[in-house]
Chains A and B, each alone.
Chain A
Amino acid sequence: MKQAANPDKERHALMEKIQMVDFALVELTLYLDTHPQDSQAIQQFNQLAVESRDLKGAYEKRFGPLRQFGGSFSGYPWNWGDTPWPWQV
């Protein structure tokens, strides 16, 4: 049986994926700041950077812009200020 689409649930699931990938990128960034020669970590960092960009693109198409000052495209009308903000979820 096909379940009715639940946008809140989907938004939450996609956001959680983004949070996971971006967390790995934060960790790798701090690690590489003190281990700049670790080529395997750099490879992982670059792979995850692509994954993060793609996930955010998919999220933004459905739920609006994530990134400020031109990091994301706007819909019409201007939708950067649309709720919910992160603390309202």
Chain B
Amino acid sequence: MWFYEKKLQYPVKVSECNPRLAKYLIEQYGGADGELSAALRYLNQRYSIPDKVIGLLTDIGTEEFAHLEMIATMVYKLTKDATPEQMKEAGLGAHYANHDHALFYHDAAGNPWTATYIQAKGDPIADLYEDIAAEEKARATYQWIINMSDDPSLNDGLKFLREREIVHSQRFREAVEILKFERDRKQIF
């Protein structure tokens, strides 16, 4: 089971109301390579992955939910004081028409989240390679958003999240080596 803790993994600050940035950031909320996809992907793959790496998938999957909460906090803070007019100007008119200031799992272009973004192949190497690719894509997305953001407070949080993608990618690469080692060991004896 899971427990909620009433704290963010890392402090989230924004300098000012900026719905335009929120529109881009929502990519990491309900986009293909976003935090929701990541959490659901790993926590679903872990049931059929070899025992040696179940712990890692459980722990990274859980951390992704903490990242999802950070993104939600960023989007919430960037949009909570925006007028309908400001939402419209920021390209969030369609979002406002359907959701007011509520968050919704869609990407920056408005496409709703879909399970087809994630895979569980039952083949441990195929699954872990997908996970490594997912981390690298999420890292790149954070970079593109940072490149477009002029909010230093927000960027501090985004840089933390970008760094986490790198660490996760490295851990998944180690998991692949662990499984390869196990496979070879079994062939020798």
| Range, interface on chain B | 20 to 34
B129 contact set on A, CB distance < 8 A: none
Q: Could you tell me the distance in whole angstroms from the C-beta of A30 to the nearest C-beta in chain B?
A: 5
**Number of A interface residues in the complex (CB < 8 A):** 23
Which of A22, A33, A67 interacts with B9 by CB under 8 Å? Answer: A22
Q: Is A26 an interface residue (CB 8 A)?
A: yes
A19 touches B8 (CB 8 A): yes
Taking CB as reference atom, which chain B residue is nearest A20? B10
Query: Chain A interface secondary structure, helix, strand, loop or mixed?
Result: helix
Which of A33, A67, A68 interacts with B59 by CB under 8 Å? Answer: A33
A69 contact set on B, CB distance < 8 A: 3
Q: List 30 A-B contacts (CB under 8 A).
A: A16-B11, A19-B8, A19-B10, A22-B7, A22-B9, A23-B9, A26-B59, A26-B63, A30-B56, A30-B59, A30-B63, A30-B167, A30-B171, A33-B59, A34-B171, A35-B174, A65-B6, A66-B5, A67-B5, A68-B5, A68-B6, A69-B3, A71-B3, A85-B6, A86-B7, A86-B8, A86-B69, A87-B12, A87-B73, A87-B76
Tell me the B residues contacting A by CB distance below 8 Å: 3-12, 53, 55-56, 59-60, 63, 69, 72-73, 76-77, 167-168, 171, 174-175, 178
Tell me the A residues contacting B by CB distance below 8 Å: 15-16, 18-19, 22-23, 26-27, 29-31, 33-35, 65-69, 71, 85-87
